[in-house]
Structure 1
């Protein structure tokens, strides 16, 4: 029997209009249902025309490191396979960490994490020609193993001392002697530098392989923080040096070791000990070291050039700011030996500047009411700088090329959204990673002029799966506060959203200085949870308050000396704005956040108690007196100087104002935001006789993950929301 055409059409449209599949927490946190593919392990070789990557032979299933052409992606050769790197019966992992002339590979095995950016491992050197494997050290795991530029040696840190392994005579030389736990660190950063200045390795080879410049941290006077680790019959105490706001920091000195004679020279950084050295970097001259020196208030930054043979230094450039200075890694010394590039907020927005080696400004290269967010490097043959910026929108990122003369600016990325790039060594090619709120990562290879060479990963399958589950991307909005401040936000709505209905709203907040949540980019696992909640009938909203980043200095630094006040006001105003939308139930608005966001959620449910029905705070700071010196003092100065800035916006001091339902969550092994924060907030709530719920995760750090931890955590939060909002 033939069916009428209209019925066939209706049947087809019904098939196309399949209801979305239900998202489960298992999909998000265990099954990897929504995982996207990336292009990883690619490392440009020095010729700039080829790269190495880790591949697998589909027939033999043997993994190997392949050398391929950028131009066509064809594999030129298999450099080595996993069968080549078996040491004393032990199979080592593949690595693309080549030395400078690409004749050797450094391999890390049995890696153990320490803090956010540090780890220790057993390191090995694999010689590609001889196929010989050399153990870097047999005396214990090492940190930060690094080839000398000439590839003849490897330097590393063990037990807070620096060592050099000579790969020719296999001798291991210890170049510092005074390293001791919780006292002296050589060649590695202390906890607060690692966390807040974002580096862990604190030694650097000179370009001629004859010297190593390094940090020495004297932690002796820094107060000790203890954490109980609940693993054994008798719990143990883990102790480490953690300088809280207003407390003593490590005394930091810079030194240079000469391999030829074993002499160590101390670099002059001034007589002031209560200061920071956020970066050191070799110039193109192997005897000239650049040292960045910053005062404790972090509003004055000196660029020192030091002669490492004598230790003498001079200030060549000073930058001052009425608020604070953000340190980054954009400082680039040009190969001509005469100039350097840096980024600065000198005009209120982060831009590129060119200086000569005497510290004289040659020119400002970029300008405008937007920010340079990353300097990728400079092709000195063409005089071209490559960078990422927010020129089109604070919510987006694009890639640009510009002459160091400040002329001939060209946009290399073409699709709106979030774009990042990885350039080949000679800037002939770059890998472009693009995503937006509707599309997962689309990764392409492009030539230096932005022309597409080929698609590396389209994530077509991930997009199809997302569509099947109704993950369509967020909806951006903007509103003005009572004092005329425009704030950006996004909404995640149910797939079957009906504007005539009233929905409960859960707001997500981070809100800390320089952060950004509202971006035109693809979702992560936390945001996938928002789509899960949307399928349960909730709207999820997120607003970037004052103090967040990428809108210029005045917007970001408006919270200076008074963290928490303006941010809370903006989140409360955001909740009020949402409550006026016809599709929002004004009696059912909640808020949650993690870390700084946990701090914000705690303030909102206390200081904004009449607005929010529910709040969840995960790993929150509850008083800035408990947090570290570098981060906290950057925005508040010390508690001795600014006690009101610390206490006027501490959730602990507003425990008696709590209304609504509150869930407080923390990991007991949090080395960053200490469990103490939640313990003392709990005590304040108890003494105020306020009902609340709390959950602790044994021995878990700030990320609260591992095993079934994530699904347990998000299940708990989901149940709490569904019962109370």
Structure 2
């Protein structure tokens, strides 16, 4: 284990007569204000509307148009527009939030079910389009001005103020849904509607769930309670069947891509070629160890060619569609983890590999945009264990130029242009926003916001590095009380998640932590987290270390974190608690049952307790099916360890949880009863997989009060 750690002094105080007294952080503020008053000032709703101007929303809901020098060139407030909206007989607005931009001088606002166009020069407003108030999954094409949306389980396209086309016609009883995110939003899927560049063709996903088992949840609000049946495909069971449709406005033709069998494969990463004549689709087998990038004729749906195939002994997981930097359709970029890290590859349109554009032992997380000529792309990449960096990469040569110098976490706003907006967050910077060119030259700094936590009594945060059993370096985070005294012994709360795609420890203004963790530290705890193998942004070897044995390697690494804590002279090794939610709930319960005695207290929220009862796409990727991997499922089934519980365990579950269904907690509770083990259980009615809104304060009060109570016994 490395003795070295990176210490970050979170607060630098200047005490003087004029110094403001620091506030005491209470739990209600920590939870309810985390993304409000405790969040650094930011530029809201940023959108580039021209190469030199961008739009953003002010604190009072005003629309501000600013230039790259950072100057505000135009401000529009709601009262400027409401008189005209009244004349159009549409709903008035309280803030000016563009729904979409038609050009640099014209934007759309949504007034209930009406879309109104507004000219920024003379503030004239015109009725543009009407969409139903209950419309969902709305996608606008600025090229054609058409609006696609879903209503119930069908796709519609609004083409004018009083005209809409119904694209699909599925009855509710058919159990077919069109235009929605399919495959439970795995494989990078976030939506189900896709416009071609000219806005004349609409691609969409569709899923038939008629073969998927109905799963009963309950609505306890009415008297008597009612059954709420959802579709939930559990590991090894039947999955829904997916299709991809294309509808052409004008000809009114609808075709489906002829993707063939087996019908339970996964379809993802859909996009059109720049001319709209071809459709690209990544197709993954049910075992998730083979992906084919296929091309189809967009007019007929006919299969044309498999451009390439990616195979992995464990799993493949494409999450980004082909990206066409030059816009001519001759070449595209593809993101792949084939060399062990997520990188960008350049291909010709017919599937010939030109080169690997980015290389190195780090993951590229995102293509943020490109220069006007398409020769250079801007990407966000992982740097070290907790930082991010922004690079300009030459598509032809692969040469990468780093555009950011300071350590921290970055977000980029860019389109097709030669300027980008970069937001930096770190313990030193709450939120520093700069506009830079593609060479990294700073043009202006529109915002430099302080860390709002500096107004509170917040303890020191450290980033220790732990060594796993195989030598892998693991990143930790340790938060001390504000009034920390090195001569004292402190109990510990270990917060754990540990699952794929997640990184709990990051170099941002609060170290990746939730603000409640700082409040918990001030109660007199050391609050600790470590990102174990299996978590995100560390390459495939790091993530796939847990394949077919979820929980085992992750716990080994968490216990290395415990070993580290025990070396600290101010840690009370006899008083350790563990808490986590979802995969973290699985980890919490696993640690309490499979390594009894390490932790005196566990609070597990929404825990997976038996992977046979989790959904297909995620579960089978990491565990295979129960039939293929019976031993792995048996080892991870927490009911098998219920008799080993030592200490105090609280299970918490949302009663309407449609992600980790409540059966996970109920079946484990029954096993505790069978084994004569006393545990605590609390459920949140009317909440799904997490407890949000005002009730979250109740949740975190329950979690921390439970730990406080049992450590005081």
In the superposition, the TM-score normalised over structure 2's length comes to: 0.91
- Rate the CA distance shift 1:17–1:201 in 2: closer, same or farther, 3 A: closer
Do structure 1's residue 366 and structure 2's residue 358 form an aligned pair?
yes
Q: 1:380, 1:454 → 2: CA distance?
A: 20
CA apart distance, 1:106? 4.6
CA apart distance, 1:240? 2.1
Q: 1:562, 1:478 → 2: CA distance?
A: 25
CA apart distance, 1:444? 2.3
> After alignment, is 525-534 or 234-243 more displaced?
525-534
Could you say which residue in structure 1 is the equivalent of 2:57? Answer: 54
2:369 to 370, 377, 380: 377
> After alignment, is 439-448 or 294-303 more displaced?
439-448
Do structure 1's residue 711 and structure 2's residue 697 form an aligned pair?
yes
> After alignment, is 401-410 or 368-377 more displaced?
401-410
Does structure 2 conserve the Cα–Cα contact (< 8 Å) formed by 1:228 and 1:669?
yes
> After alignment, is 125-134 or 481-490 more displaced?
125-134
Q: Deviations over 1:54-107 (max 9, x none)?
A: 347xxxx7x543433223422246498441445636224633232554676454
Q: Deviations over 1:153-205 (max 9, x none)?
A: 3222112111222216x222212112425711122234xx2432453532222
Do structure 1's residue 132 and structure 2's residue 134 form an aligned pair?
no
> After alignment, is 326-335 or 85-94 more displaced?
85-94
Q: 1:454, 1:479 → 2: CA distance?
A: 39
Does structure 1 conserve the Cα–Cα contact (< 8 Å) formed by 2:283 and 2:291?
yes
Q: Deviations over 1:13-47 (max 9, x none)?
A: 786999854321122134555232221111111x3
- Rate the CA distance shift 1:231–1:347 in 2: closer, same or farther, 3 A: same
Do structure 1's residue 315 and structure 2's residue 309 form an aligned pair?
no
Could you say which residue in structure 1 is the equivalent of 2:315? Answer: 324
2:555 to 545, 568, 572: 568
**SS of residue in 2 equivalent to 1:656:** helix
Do structure 1's residue 175 and structure 2's residue 167 form an aligned pair?
yes
Cα RMSD (Å) = 2.6
Does structure 1 conserve the Cα–Cα contact (< 8 Å) formed by 2:129 and 2:160?
no
Could you say which residue in structure 2 is the equivalent of 1:70? Answer: 68
Q: 2:428, 2:663 → 1: CA distance?
A: 40
CA apart distance, 1:602? 0.2
- Rate the CA distance shift 1:556–1:201 in 2: closer, same or farther, 3 A: closer
Do structure 1's residue 212 and structure 2's residue 202 form an aligned pair?
yes
**Larger RCO: 1 or 2 (CA < 8 Å, sep 6+):** 2
Does structure 2 conserve the Cα–Cα contact (< 8 Å) formed by 1:438 and 1:474?
no
Q: 1:101, 1:20 → 2: CA distance?
A: 47
Q: 1:16, 1:470 → 2: CA distance?
A: 18
Does structure 2 conserve the Cα–Cα contact (< 8 Å) formed by 1:187 and 1:202?
yes
CA apart distance, 1:573? 2.7
Does structure 2 conserve the Cα–Cα contact (< 8 Å) formed by 1:364 and 1:406?
no
CA apart distance, 1:524? 8.2
Q: 2:378, 2:20 → 1: CA distance?
A: 45
The 5 Å alignment of 1:229-378 reads 229-313=219-303, 314-329=305-320, 331-334=322-325, 335-378=327-370
The 5 Å alignment of 1:423-572 reads 423=414, 425-460=415-450, 462-463=451-452, 466-471=453-458, 474-523=461-510, 527-572=514-559
**SS of residue in 2 equivalent to 1:670:** coil
Does structure 2 conserve the Cα–Cα contact (< 8 Å) formed by 1:136 and 1:154?
no
Q: 2:114, 2:311 → 1: CA distance?
A: 42
Do structure 1's residue 39 and structure 2's residue 43 form an aligned pair?
yes
Q: 1:236, 1:718 → 2: CA distance?
A: 33
Could you say which residue in structure 2 is the equivalent of 1:596? Answer: 583
Q: 1:218, 1:106 → 2: CA distance?
A: 34
Could you say which residue in structure 1 is the equivalent of 2:25? Answer: 23
Q: 1:323, 1:682 → 2: CA distance?
A: 33
**SS of residue in 2 equivalent to 1:578:** helix
- Rate the CA distance shift 1:40–1:468 in 2: closer, same or farther, 3 A: closer
Does structure 1 conserve the Cα–Cα contact (< 8 Å) formed by 2:654 and 2:662?
yes
Does structure 2 conserve the Cα–Cα contact (< 8 Å) formed by 1:65 and 1:78?
yes
Q: 2:526, 2:15 → 1: CA distance?
A: 28
The 5 Å alignment of 1:635-646 reads 635-646=622-633
- Rate the CA distance shift 1:295–1:199 in 2: closer, same or farther, 3 A: same
> After alignment, is 208-217 or 648-657 more displaced?
208-217
Q: 1:393, 1:19 → 2: CA distance?
A: 37
CA apart distance, 1:417? 1.3
2:607 to 620, 633, 637: 620
Does structure 2 conserve the Cα–Cα contact (< 8 Å) formed by 1:349 and 1:369?
yes
Do structure 1's residue 154 and structure 2's residue 158 form an aligned pair?
no
2:176 to 184, 191, 210: 184
- Rate the CA distance shift 1:194–1:82 in 2: closer, same or farther, 3 A: farther
Does structure 2 conserve the Cα–Cα contact (< 8 Å) formed by 1:25 and 1:711?
yes
Q: 2:323, 2:67 → 1: CA distance?
A: 28
Does structure 1 conserve the Cα–Cα contact (< 8 Å) formed by 2:410 and 2:423?
yes
**SS of residue in 1 equivalent to 2:556:** helix
Q: 1:166, 1:18 → 2: CA distance?
A: 57
Could you say which residue in structure 1 is the equivalent of 2:7? Answer: none
> After alignment, is 537-546 or 715-724 more displaced?
715-724
Does structure 2 conserve the Cα–Cα contact (< 8 Å) formed by 1:330 and 1:374?
no
- Rate the CA distance shift 1:525–1:679 in 2: closer, same or farther, 3 A: farther
> After alignment, is 18-27 or 635-644 more displaced?
18-27
Q: 1:102, 1:457 → 2: CA distance?
A: 23
Does structure 1 conserve the Cα–Cα contact (< 8 Å) formed by 2:269 and 2:321?
no
Do structure 1's residue 225 and structure 2's residue 215 form an aligned pair?
yes
Could you say which residue in structure 1 is the equivalent of 2:671? Answer: 684
Q: Deviations over 1:444-477 (max 9, x none)?
A: 22233222233333222x44xx234232552011
CA apart distance, 1:236? 2.5
Could you say which residue in structure 2 is the equivalent of 1:165? Answer: 158
Does structure 2 conserve the Cα–Cα contact (< 8 Å) formed by 1:601 and 1:616?
yes
